[in-house]
Structure 1
């Protein structure tokens, strides 16, 4: 197989070739390394391609037999491998265990070949850090790939691997999906286990999944990674049939709520709003009933939750275990401010945050109960420049100012981390200058099946498979 052929196939397609004996897992790993060598110097998405990647045996069979897979350098623990979380505080730290996500990946044939970048501690919507530098968007190198799963996003968008791990506490999977032209789902709370050490990530706000290029890969990944483990705090009803079978099921007539107005203080760019209008019209043409939906929550409530969940104790324990101190030499400006702010947190702050989460879950659930799905922009803008004031961690603004900017920046995303609804960003449009525009589809709690069917319909109605970024492996 040539590199130009490798990059044209999604993970499902590559796995089928392995199963048919037309290509070997080792050959796919070699092609992933070739792709990385070609494009990574320009995008800085992969911080480590394992030296033993081409010699480590993977599991036989599985939905993704032999497919190369990148691990985001935070949230996913792989025994014996580095996990530095984009921070000088964690530099040199090696994991002791494989988490459940990694075990499931291996058991279904994914071959983990290396680590991809993330902003420090996964906090920012821009993937840039003092430790690992700036991750560039393959569509336009002067722009950010997004964050915090920007390294996986840029790598998949440029063709290094067809699928990579991603995690999302307030938009970290869906931002790179929107800006890099990818499919990025944030599953329902409890759908994918965070165990054994992060089974209650940020009180259920944080969820693990993948970034990929096709809806069928998204469906297959749900089959691979869904399921709970003993001790998980959130147990969700599992589907009656595999998610890949939803790809052949009828969608039916749906009640669609459309967000045509902003849900925060940041305006929607005209190209993004036009994309929303276009897809709303397409859904109507498909026979669905489309109705406008007003903002279902107050931005200040989201800020209150963010403020009340700051925690200094975890970083202090990390610093002690690494024999380091927390200061400007180990943490970037905003995270250092978060740390100092967290030390001042009171029991009343925590109680207020949890009560506000309860209130938001109720109010949003009640407001959206009349709809089967919701259509929103994923992001109010196309990809932002590196170092943009929105949510960079290397800045001197105050913590409160940063939180306000973050809430405005992720106005359509973080709310569904709070409520637990499943949502997916799909690359359904492009701006006038050719940049990807992601639109978000949100379904009822636990209803990933509807998301898959609608995503399939939209992929067929507004296909994106022929679009290519400027930096694309095998094109030189």
Structure 2
């Protein structure tokens, strides 16, 4: 397959840069899709990030309704194999039980993505039902971190994280129910914004009412790409139960200006959880960097009952995933999850949560409400909370304590292990806050590490504005200007 440009040129372009070339007639959407497909062909045997390339869309980018007049003009894009549906396409959710599952219609967000000019040309990997932190069931696929193939990409936006980091595509879809945009962004060196509740629609098959902790989004390598994605894809479909946030000006304009002097609270001490000394040192460096940009920085833990929050979040996940599995079983006429088709921890979660009562849900929601109110009060005095993306280093592949193939017989102990490493991101899902992971730190072994920022609900633009200020100060050199070991530039 003839390439439209060399791989160095390709990987140095972000989505908006690629869109400009398309609008100028220098390349076509089809040529861009063919180049991305070539990148998948070359690298996927090593990283196992892409489940399927839609060859018909590669050859005819407008076949499924992509609008070439959209801001992205036909830039290649992948959808995580979970969440929004694609008409006529498979969606197998990382599960053997869902093999062959084909969708009848586009979700509302899918239509928004197509209107934005993004050419959906394939599916990226995810752990089963997005429940755990890594896509590594050998019976399905094992997605590897392009920075070091011995390590996980984390999850659940596993394949998206690896595809963007490896330079195959500049932007790809991701979802976040407790950190699943931000955590893999952090360990793969991407930018990952989890937006506020009320930015992206999950209609019609889900909604913020049914899926209160989950959010949609993307991975990118530049702030302007993330800003453009939010600007063009946001909003609710007809009949949404809640209002949707709309900014006073587009984020693509807002990020051109530095934010005001911000009050930034910094912490890694959340409830019973603490980061490792090296991660704390990286957080300190990030805090000093922000001080150097003129912001007020202070070490401070929000006055929130984090222990209660983690317990409520655990309850939320057990209920949410048990219901997901129950719905699938009902559709398939099954009474129980087949042990040879569903991973052990997913079965245990179903067993634990299938008979949950309304009283349990009400208690969970009361904690959500109290936590959200207290953080809201905190954000009356502070603009940003800065934390690490994770408390511990990126796990090696095969670290089963975080996986749904784990033999841990206690669902609650399994979730406790997750909170021990992913301590900082879930509060955004509980409270509907925006959170972003920025690739400005690294682990002791040289792999990337994200610094995580939270802000008040609806202030997604402030996070992007701060991210853009940092990006300019770094001269665009996220990850200290380094690229992964497995990268299209090495083809």
The alpha-carbon deviation at position 389 of structure 1 amounts to 4.1
In the TM superposition, what whole-angstrom CA distance separates every residue of 1:412-470 from its partner, at most 9, and x where no partner exists?
A: 10011011111100001122321101001112211122111110111122331622000
SS at the partner of 2:150? strand
Counterpart-to-counterpart distance in 2, 1:104 and 1:263: 37
The answer to which of 422-431 and 287-296 deviates more is 287-296
In the TM superposition, what whole-angstrom CA distance separates every residue of 1:7-52 from its partner, at most 9, and x where no partner exists?
A: 2211011001001111111110110011111111000000111121
SS at the partner of 1:310? helix
Structural mapping, 1:38-53, within 5 Å: 38-53=42-57
Structural mapping, 1:10-409, within 5 Å: 10-56=14-60, 57=62, 58-200=66-208, 202-259=210-267, 261-295=268-302, 296-308=304-316, 310-311=318-319, 312-324=322-334, 325-397=336-408, 398-409=410-421
2:489 matched to which residue of 1? 474
Counterpart-to-counterpart distance in 1, 2:327 and 2:197: 27
The alpha-carbon deviation at position 345 of structure 1 amounts to 1.9
Choose which of 406, 426, 429 in structure 1 pairs with 2:438: 426
Check conservation: 1:299, 1:408, Cα contact below 8 A: no
SS at the partner of 1:147? coil
Counterpart-to-counterpart distance in 2, 1:59 and 1:320: 37
The answer to which of 142-151 and 202-211 deviates more is 202-211
In the TM superposition, what whole-angstrom CA distance separates every residue of 1:158-179 from its partner, at most 9, and x where no partner exists?
A: 1111110000010000011000
Counterpart-to-counterpart distance in 1, 2:120 and 2:83: 15
SS at the partner of 2:219? strand
SS at the partner of 1:383? coil
| Alpha-carbon spacing, 1:77–1:155, altered in 2? closer, same or farther (3 Å) | same
Task: Name the Cα RMSD after superposition.
Answer: 1.7
SS at the partner of 1:104? helix
Structural mapping, 1:409-420, within 5 Å: 409-420=421-432
Choose which of 8, 20, 24 in structure 1 pairs with 2:12: 8
In the TM superposition, what whole-angstrom CA distance separates every residue of 1:247-267 from its partner, at most 9, and x where no partner exists?
A: 2223111111111x3214443
Check conservation: 2:134, 2:156, Cα contact below 8 A: yes
Check conservation: 2:160, 2:219, Cα contact below 8 A: yes
Q: Unpaired segments of 5 or more residues in structure 1?
A: none
The alpha-carbon deviation at position 225 of structure 1 amounts to 1.4
What TM-score, normalized to structure 2? Answer: 0.93
| Alpha-carbon spacing, 1:318–1:104, altered in 2? closer, same or farther (3 Å) | same
SS at the partner of 2:490? coil
2:463 matched to which residue of 1? 451
| Alpha-carbon spacing, 1:460–1:272, altered in 2? closer, same or farther (3 Å) | farther
Counterpart-to-counterpart distance in 2, 1:228 and 1:419: 19
Check conservation: 1:253, 1:289, Cα contact below 8 A: yes
SS at the partner of 2:377? helix
Check conservation: 2:125, 2:143, Cα contact below 8 A: yes
| Alpha-carbon spacing, 1:323–1:289, altered in 2? closer, same or farther (3 Å) | same
| Alpha-carbon spacing, 1:405–1:432, altered in 2? closer, same or farther (3 Å) | closer
The alpha-carbon deviation at position 234 of structure 1 amounts to 2.9
Check conservation: 1:47, 1:132, Cα contact below 8 A: no
What TM-score, normalized to structure 1? Answer: 0.96
The alpha-carbon deviation at position 4 of structure 1 amounts to 3.0
2:478 matched to which residue of 1? 464
Check conservation: 2:50, 2:125, Cα contact below 8 A: yes
SS at the partner of 1:105? helix
The alpha-carbon deviation at position 315 of structure 1 amounts to 2.1
| Alpha-carbon spacing, 1:149–1:280, altered in 2? closer, same or farther (3 Å) | same
Counterpart-to-counterpart distance in 1, 2:180 and 2:431: 16
In the TM superposition, what whole-angstrom CA distance separates every residue of 1:317-340 from its partner, at most 9, and x where no partner exists?
A: 312323555121221011000011
Counterpart-to-counterpart distance in 2, 1:314 and 1:274: 40
The answer to which of 373-382 and 303-312 deviates more is 303-312
